[in-house]
Structure 1
Amino acid sequence: MTSGVSEKSSSLLRIRCNKRQGIALVAVLFMLFLSLFTFARPSSGGCGGRTIRTFNEAVAFSRATTTSHNHEGPIFKNLNDLEATANAKDNQEHVLILTPLKNAASYLPRYFELLDRMSYPKHLISVAFLVSDTTDNTVELLQEQAHVFLNRWKDRYHEITIYQKDFSFELPEDKRHTFELQPLRRSYMARSRNYLLTAALREEHSWVLWLDVDLVDYPATVLEDLQSVDVDVVVPNCLRETEDNSFWGYDKNNWQETDSSLEMQKDLDPEYVLLEGYYEFLTNRYLMVDMPTHHPKLEKVPLDGVGATFTLVKAHVHREGANFPAFVFQHQVETEGFAKMAKAMGFGVYGLPSYLIYHTMNG
């Protein structure tokens, strides 16, 4: 009888032990699968900034991270299939949004609000910033917001990168639009844009959007709208935000040459930089902010100069060499110099006078 009780107790003990081991094993397996399903990388590379949601993706990521530095042969990238089309959203074409910054902390909340309101699929959007000579907490705020955008379950961005490059160029805020200082200021802005472009452009990008940090309003469908125009370079019409909703032009760097402006340039020193919106030297050009705005909003007009408040470029334009000259090119530097260079290379540059976006009332 005693022997039977002992055997029974021993059996119960084994069952309890097995049950504990089984529960522990289930817990370990559950934590393993949970970690695979919720893994998210806050930086670039690897899976391209996407959340891993399946076991197969986790296995693929593991293989990629263990073999990425042990290639047995060359890496082959076929750029022949990379296109920028009018149906970019349907064709899953990647967009790179570029924004140079300096002391921009006060503008960032609205910038990110508008950016996140865009209807273009977030997993097809990469964003890159170049912060230069800043004295505020711009970098810290960028890092905080990037963490949010890269670690949420839905509408997660493909990649967000923050670069810092100082040029030791200081200009008092009340002097940043002084006529005499514009060629030098714009030259440094061109260098900043070129640093950002060359650092951030990847082989998957079909489009490049140059976006100002201090815009206050634009349509959520703006990317799809501008892509549908299907030209090499296109800009909407940027106005100033006013309390009474009156019409005030902001981006005067979007313009057409005229017979008068071309005639005047024949006698200019080749190194002279032309600037728009200054009474010190009138260029006689036709500014897009002075064009009629009652036509269909996607009706385009050819331009010879562009700004960069919101400038959409097919990535192949930049890849083939059109950048932002920090030197004088056909009497222009920076963004207007880019437009002149793109046209000289045979690319089409256009504006949409009736497609309105709004800039903060500064400058």
Structure 2
Amino acid sequence: MSFALGSKPSKRDAEPYLDQYFRLLDETTYPNNLISLAFLVSDSSDRTFESLQSHINEIQSRWSYNARFESVRVFKKDFDFDLPNAERHLYEMQPLRRSVMARARNWLLSAALKSDTSWVAWIDVDVVQYPPTIFQDLMRADADVVVPNCLLKRDDHDFWGYDKNNWRETDESKRIQENLDEDFVLLEGYYEFPTYRYLMVDMPTDVDKDYKVELDGVVRICHGATFTLVKAHVHREGANFPAFPYKHQVETEGFAKMAKSMGFSVYGLPGYLIYHIQNH
């Protein structure tokens, strides 16, 4: 059994996060030699590509075969999309921005998915804390798509939800969508257009970490998929990341909608907490 892991393709300048990214992966209890890694460096302006190569050379030259990863591949593909940081999170820029991110994610998926891959884990490069048993824990949920609950890692240790895009539709959110144009993209976390969905970060977290809830959308709040585990056959059978509005969603949320339309199960674990760095 092997994994194909994507370091978020939309994170153009990822160099500052790579030490932590590889340290966390290295500490997981799932055997390294059964994990395949794949990265897409896109429109980067720092030394992300060179830093990736350095980390890979160090890890893959270890004396012990079991300490190495099964394979590590780095791809470069620019989409000529340059958006100033000041505009990255503007409401009106999100459909275009997320469309480019979907194209990048699909490019990486088509390039990296192997015939013997059993699971695909999409992991943000700036997720800074998760249990070392996370792969086995998420697999135990036995869902086609499963996500943990991602909180914000703060210096004051205050409790803040990060991923507002793990959600379940409500009667009110469904009613709102009845009168929307087909190409209108719904976005979580923006005051301009409330969606009235039930967010997983608003669900009780004092439950068993194996407790799962059915979801209609999975994480995409700012940069990527934080930590999303997908059975590989879901991707093989055609569920990808739409770069166009699909049921009013694009990218990872559109992927969740598409997967559910195809009959696949999408679940979240509100009591299984991981943490994302506060970087914006």
Q: TM-score per shorter chain, which class?
A: over 0.9
Bigger-Rg structure (1/2): 1
Match of 1:244 in 2: 156
Deviation at 1:223, TM superposition (A): 0.4
Of Structure 1 and Structure 2, which has the larger fraction of its residues in strand? Answer: 2
The one-letter amino acid of 2:272's match is: Y
* Residues in 1 aligned to 2:24 and 2:33: alpha-carbon distance in whole angstroms: 16
For the pair 1:303 / 2:215, whether they are aligned, the reply is: yes
The one-letter amino acid of 2:115's match is: E
- Give the alignment partner of residue 234 of structure 2, picking from 317, 321, 330: 317
Percent identity (aligned):
61
The one-letter amino acid of 2:91's match is: F
Deviation at 1:190, TM superposition (A): 0.2
* Residues in 2 aligned to 1:270 and 1:339: alpha-carbon distance in whole angstroms: 17
Match of 1:349 in 2: 266
- Give the alignment partner of residue 171 of structure 2, picking from 240, 259, 264: 259
Q: Give matches, 1:2-17, under 5 Å.
A: none
* Residues in 1 aligned to 2:196 and 2:59: alpha-carbon distance in whole angstroms: 45
Deviation at 1:246, TM superposition (A): 1.1
Deviation at 1:150, TM superposition (A): 1.3
Match of 2:77 in 1: 165
Match of 2:188 in 1: 276
Match of 2:277 in 1: 360
For the pair 1:226 / 2:143, whether they are aligned, the reply is: no
Match of 1:102 in 2: 12
* Residues in 2 aligned to 1:211 and 1:128: alpha-carbon distance in whole angstroms: 11
Match of 1:190 in 2: 102
TM-score by length of 2: 0.96
* Residues in 2 aligned to 1:119 and 1:175: alpha-carbon distance in whole angstroms: 39
TM-score by length of 1: 0.74
Gaps of 5+ in 2: 220-224
For the pair 1:144 / 2:54, whether they are aligned, the reply is: yes
Deviation at 1:109, TM superposition (A): 1.0
Counterpart secondary structure, 1:129: strand
Count, aligned residues = 271
* Residues in 2 aligned to 1:153 and 1:321: alpha-carbon distance in whole angstroms: 39
Counterpart secondary structure, 1:339: helix
Match of 2:222 in 1: none
The one-letter amino acid of 2:273's match is: L
Deviation at 1:362, TM superposition (A): 2.0
* Residues in 1 aligned to 2:31 and 2:277: alpha-carbon distance in whole angstroms: 26
Q: Give matches, 1:78-89, under 5 Å.
A: none
* Residues in 2 aligned to 1:122 and 1:174: alpha-carbon distance in whole angstroms: 38
* Residues in 1 aligned to 2:120 and 2:248: alpha-carbon distance in whole angstroms: 25
* Residues in 2 aligned to 1:104 and 1:97: alpha-carbon distance in whole angstroms: 15
Gaps of 5+ in 1: 1-92
Counterpart secondary structure, 1:134: coil
